[in-house]
Structure 1
Amino acid sequence: MNTTQIRAALPRELLASVVVFLVALPLCMGIAIASGMPPAKGLITGIIGGIVVGFLAGSPLQVSGPAAGLAVLVFELVRQHGMAMLGPILLLAGLLQLLAGRFRLGCWFRVTAPAVVYGMLAGIGVLIVLSQVHVMFDAAPLPSGVDNLLGFPTTLASALPQESNAWQAGALGLGTIALMWGWERFKPQRLRFVPGALLGVATMTALSIWLALPVNRVQVPADLSEAIDWLRPDDLLALADPTLLVAALALAFIASAETLLSAAAVDRMHNGQRSDFDRELSAQGVGNMLCGVLGALPMTGVIVRSSANVQAGAQTRYSAILHGLWLLAFVVALSSVLQQIPVASLAGVLVYTGVKLVDLKALRGLGRYGRMPMLTYAATALAIIFTDLLTGVLLGFALTLLKLAFKAARLKINLVTLDKPGHMELRLSGAATFLKVPALTQALDSVPAGTTLHVPLGNLSYIDHSVLELLEDWGRASRANGSRLRVEQRGLKRRIEGRLRRAVQV
């Protein structure tokens, strides 16, 4: 893009960047709180995601920043290993993403079955809701989803007495949710660019100030540099711990999968430049490495901010870059405004976001492909809720592989007598793998002596060497009793034609 084109596009990109900034501001802080981190950490990640990743990105209209999809994983990592260990984990995860992009592995991260991804997001959404309903009442979330569910009646009971301040915080959180829901359904077309999260948080903040409500408010340092925890060289020695290496791998994989699925979704929203997934993956790696060095939250490409960017008319990466500059300017110049925001209102934003992550339309869509994808979705989500994120994702992958193995084992075997005397046909349909060797052996053993057996392979989707060897052995062993084997090779790949030719000759 030349200088003239940049000048022509700048007003449109400026407007789009303001819209994205307004969407990103409450989400950056809310996701940080849901992750068990100070709100300023989320703002740092949003700034890096806008300015640095926006400049390097392979998906020009995608916006990067803290993601609700990683909040549960980060919360667990901080709880188990402490906030100081998040930096080394994130540095290694970012390095893995950078290397994956350089080695052009971006397309492989998109191989993840949709049922696993949707189930992962649904499980994360439920966990976010279960934890943030406590924060809505100015209470601390508990370590697990089950604990949060069982502990909610206690939190609610403590908020009921009139002398408690918790019910006031809860009212602000519920008010934020109500405003976001109402705005999404009834917003005027002329004001569609105004994000519901900003409207809800701004309204509840103004109401809490006007009524002087004694609720917990966001703690943001006046100087953003105070929120930076530089990575120390000694911290890198902790990566010798295998559990931290596994955590880095899990973080890299989940962040990459979420980023590239979001990039693919953004591509479907516009007709402009398509995403370069390898470049996008490398850019995310650089961004996460910087976040690790500064002690901030991990980032991904995020669909909510990206869709707001497209809908606001952005056509270049300058909108994402400018939104990062707006975040930086707001935090530097108006940190006192952020300090007036009730924590309960941001929790309301996260509860609403968590509910939206449980996409029932996606579940119904999976139903078109059979029961197994729906089972994978439900099993992944439930495992995440009742165990942990990594276990849930691994279970989802295991079920996907089980489905593939089941498909690979499906083979219809029919032994048919032909009209010509002494001729039979072994009809095979499906995948002829070693799993079906016993059934094939039984069918071949039932062929009468002196029979010419025809084996057409046109209906096979796959045939492996074990089945080929079985046919060869039968043809060779049956020659003594006058039987003949005729294998029809049409439609097969060259690399197995020679093997079958030998089978025919015996």
Structure 2
Amino acid sequence: MKTNLLGDNLKYDLKSSLVVFLVALPLCLGIAVASGAPPMSGLIAGIIGGIVVGSLSGSNVSVSGPAAGLTVIVLDAISTLGTFELFLAAVVAAGIIQLILGFLKAGVLGYYFPNSVIKGMLTAIGLILILKQIPHALGWDKDQMGDMDFNQMDNQNTFSEIWYAIQYFSPGAIPIALIALGLIIFFERPKIKNHRILGLVPGALWAVISGILINQLYGIFMPEWKLEAEHLVMIPEVESIAGLGSLITFPDFGLVTTPDFWVIAVTIAIIASIETLLSLEAGDKMDPYKRISPPSRELVAQGTGNTISGLIGGLPLTAVIVRTTANVGSGAKTKLSAILHGVLLLVLVVGIANILNLIPLSCLAAVLFVVGYKLAKPSIFINEFQKGKNQFVPFVVTVVAILFTDLLTGIGIGIVVGIFFVIKTNYQKSVLVTELNGQYLVKLQKDVSFLNKAPLMRHLSEIPNGSTVILNGTKAKFIDHDINELLNDFIATSSDRDIKVEVEGFNYNIKETL
């Protein structure tokens, strides 16, 4: 594949950037409001995530911006520090900490997350997107679009919110959502998507245009169905780029010497780094060209982005999987798509905010429905099930845990379960004992650690007196000291049980007994 930014890839990246922009716009605003921060802070983080992080990142598909996973942390931090300005200073400090982590090559830790947990995270986010958009598609917009936790900011949960939406739906929202969804599905068809003319404009943009037009027609022919302010995108309007200055907030470093300040800064840096590394690896798995992104460089990019975002009034940002999925699904080829989505956020928010504020949230819900489905297709569950319980159980646990808690808690639970199954698998396969005509083969496979001591001891004690035993360690690259000591003890006492021992593939030293 060609990787030049201005060559054949431009048409794909430009098209993808439009879709990512439409996905990012309500999420940036929603996450800011759910975090107890000014709406503009979410847009600033989205702009910095696109232009700055996108330019510095080594990923071709990852998109950065304000993260739903940090919502509760941001809300609590603003409350603890007292003002939004003091919180911004902590974001700057968090960015500097990330820069240090990146220069120390700490990004390599991202390679140690279990694959089943990564896939579970992606699938869970897909299901959450679908469930969270149902109320918006029905015209029940009491909860912010960026609220991804099970227990919501409006004191409801994911399922009770759907129940309220069914009871108190807005009739005008449903046709808008259905028509928008139909347009997106139509333009996603391979023949249309790859058409020389019809494929130039993404279905998501047609969906948004249709939503605006239908709602305006409601005002003429069916005023009672027209969706008003709470059901529409709400962007702070400015008349020029110079006017952005009135919406920018600068940090206050007055608490930089206090413990609370640094606890919050370190927490943001660590959580944002973990979410970034998870999203980065997930993005690489979705990349059709299977390119590998340098994780430590990503931490440097994110650190730079967070430092700048905090300095000009933006929320903390991470690599985010929803926008990354939209980017990959829309056919992005290079990181130019992520950069252009940031440019679109900057230019269009300033230039046509009055038009963007006409977009119904129900048609944006249709866009996110499609993104969610791509992450949580039924075939994904089938494929994971076919891999066996050691992969399927951590996958399902991660999905359920994220669905009923929040992203970070769910991932933590999934990692614990995933590591348990990794240890269990190695525990079972590291020692193999077979018997043929009274001759026992004790085979040490792969690495053998102290975790295998108990079963090995049991196997050796069950070998009958008078047997012949072959201890084979040719495939074991590492044998723990405890295991060596156990085998030495067995060899030293084998004559007492009339057991003949043959040793292959490892050194032993029979200790003298007093």
Letter in 2 for 1:346: L
Going from structure 1 to structure 2, the CA distance change for 1:308 and 1:231 (only over 3 Å counts) comes to farther
CA distance in 1, matches of 2:87, 2:121: 22
Change (3 A) 1:176 1:39: farther
Report if aligned partners of 2:140, 2:168 keep a CA contact under 8 Å in 1. no
Is 454-463 or 145-154 further displaced after alignment? Answer: 454-463
Task: Give the letter for the 1:199 counterpart.
Answer: W
- Taking the aligned partners of 1:170 and 1:140, their CA distance within structure 2 comes to 16
Decide which moves more: 243-252 or 200-209: 243-252
Residues 28-74 of structure 1 deviation map (CA, whole Å, 9 limit, x = unaligned): 21212442536644443332233222332223x3352337xx42x24
> 2:282 matched to which residue of 1?
261
The one-letter amino acid paired with 2:228 is V
Correspondence list, 1:78-89, <5 A: 78=74, 80-82=76-78, 84=84, 87=88
Q: Using the TM superposition, give the Cα deviation of residue 397 of structure 1 relative to its aligned residue in structure 2, in angstroms.
A: 0.9
Contact 1:116 1:396 in 2 (8 A): yes
CA apart distance, 1:219: 1.9
Note if contact 1:412-1:429 (Cα within 8 Å) is conserved in structure 2: yes
2:374: which partner in 1? 356
- Note if contact 1:54-1:318 (Cα within 8 Å) is conserved in structure 2: yes
Distance across 2 between alignment mates of 1:376 and 1:341: 40
What is the alpha-carbon distance in structure 1 between the residues aligned to residue 463 and residue 61 of structure 2?
63
Q: Secondary structure at the match of 1:51?
A: helix
Task: Say whether the 8 Å CA contact 2:94–2:306 is kept in structure 1.
Answer: yes
**2:159 aligned to 149, 155, 158, which one?**
149
Aligned letter for 1:46?
Answer: G
The superposition leaves residues 106-136 of structure 1 with CA deviations (integer Å, 9 ceiling, x where unpaired) of: 3431332221112122223333333333334
| Contact 1:218 1:341 survives alignment (8 Å) | yes
Distance across 2 between alignment mates of 1:63 and 1:425: 54
Identify the residue that residue 219 of structure 1 maps to in structure 2.
Answer: 234
Matched, 1:123 2:128: no
Note if 1:179 corresponds to 2:199: no
TM-score normalized by structure 2? 0.78
CA deviation vs aligned residue, 1:293-320 (integer Å, no higher than 9, x gap): 32236241643454368x46x56x5565
Q: Distance in 2 between matches of 1:238 and 1:113?
A: 34
Range with greater deviation from structure 2 (282-291 or 318-327): 318-327
Provide the rounded CA distance (Å) in 1 between the counterparts of 2:259 and 2:360: 36
The answer to whether the 8 Å contact 1:101/1:278 transfers is yes
Q: Deviations over 1:257-301 (max 9, x none)?
A: 20243145437168xxx6444323321221233233322362416
What residue in structure 2 maps to residue 494 of structure 1? Answer: none
Of 310, 320, 339, the match for 1:292: 310
Match of 2:27 in 1: 31
Q: Give yes or no for contact 2:227–2:360 (8 Å, CA) kept in 1.
A: no
User: Which of 229, 238, 248 does residue 249 from structure 2 map onto?
Assistant: 229
Residue 327 of structure 1 and its aligned partner are, at CA, apart by 3.4
What are the equivalent positions in structure 2 for 1:38-437 lying under 5 Å apart?
Answer: 40-59=40-59, 61-62=60-61, 64-66=63-65, 70-71=67-68, 73-78=69-74, 80-82=76-78, 84=84, 87=88, 90-91=91-92, 94-136=95-137, 137-141=139-143, 145=150, 147-159=157-169, 166-185=170-189, 187=192, 189-190=195-196, 191-212=198-219, 213-216=226-229, 217-223=232-238, 224-234=244-254, 237=258, 239-240=260-261, 245-246=266-267, 248-263=269-284, 265-266=286-287, 268=289, 275-293=293-311, 294-296=313-315, 298-300=317-319, 302-304=323-325, 306-307=327-328, 311=331, 320-410=338-428, 411-414=431-434, 424-428=439-443, 430=445, 432-437=448-453
Query: Which deviates the most, 474-483 or 197-206?
Result: 474-483
Task: Decide whether the 8 Å contact of 1:29 with 1:40 is kept in 2.
Answer: no
- SS at 2:105 equivalent: coil
Superposed CA deviations along residues 114-167 of structure 1, whole A, max 9, x for unmatched, are 2111212222333333333333414312885362312422332223xxxxxx22
Distance 1:96 1:119, change over 3 A: farther
Partner of 1:162: none
Structure 2 regions of 5+ residues with no counterpart?
Answer: 152-156, 220-225, 239-243
Partners of 2:444 and 2:182 lie apart in 1 by: 56
Where 2:502 maps in the other structure, the secondary structure is strand
Query: Which residue in 1 is equivalent to 2:241?
Result: none
Count of residue pairs the alignment pairs up: 471
Indicate conservation of the 8 Å contact 1:429/1:459, yes or no.
yes
8 Å CA contact 1:77, 1:86 repeated in 2: no
Is contact 1:138-1:215 (8 Å) kept? no
Give, in whole Å, the separation in 2 of the partners of 1:463 and 1:49: 47
**Residue 225 of structure 1, CA deviation:** 3.7
* Corresponding residue SS for 1:187: helix
Secondary structure of residue in 2 paired with 1:210: helix
Partner in structure 2 of residue 488 of structure 1: 504
1:173-222: per-residue Cα shift (whole Å, max 9, x none)?
34323322232237352222422222211210122123322422222222
Tell me how far apart the structure 2 counterparts of residues 264 and 439 of structure 1 sit (CA, whole Å): 37
Q: 1:36 to 1:382 in 2, by over 3 A?
A: farther
Letter in 2 for 1:231: P
Structure 2 residue 37 is the aligned partner of structure 1 residue 19: no
CA contact (8 A) 2:119 2:282 kept: no
Distance across 1 between alignment mates of 2:367 and 2:74: 22
Distance change >3 Å, CA 356–CA 95, structure 1 → 2: farther
- Normalised by the length of structure 1, the TM-score is 0.79
Which deviates further from its counterpart, 364-373 or 321-330? Answer: 321-330
Fraction of identical pairs, as percent: 25
SS at match of 1:211: helix
Would the alpha carbon gap of residues 442 and 256 (structure 1) be closer, same or farther in structure 2, given more than 3 Å must change? Answer: closer
- C-alpha contact 1:94 1:286 (8 A) present in aligned 2: yes
* Mapped contact 1:39–1:218 kept (Cα < 8 A): no
Change (3 A) 1:402 1:319: closer
Tell me what 2:154 maps to. Answer: none
Deviations 1:392-429 (A, max 9, x none): 111111111111221232233245556xxxxx544235
Contact 1:453 1:486 in 2 (8 A): yes
Match of 1:492 in 2: none
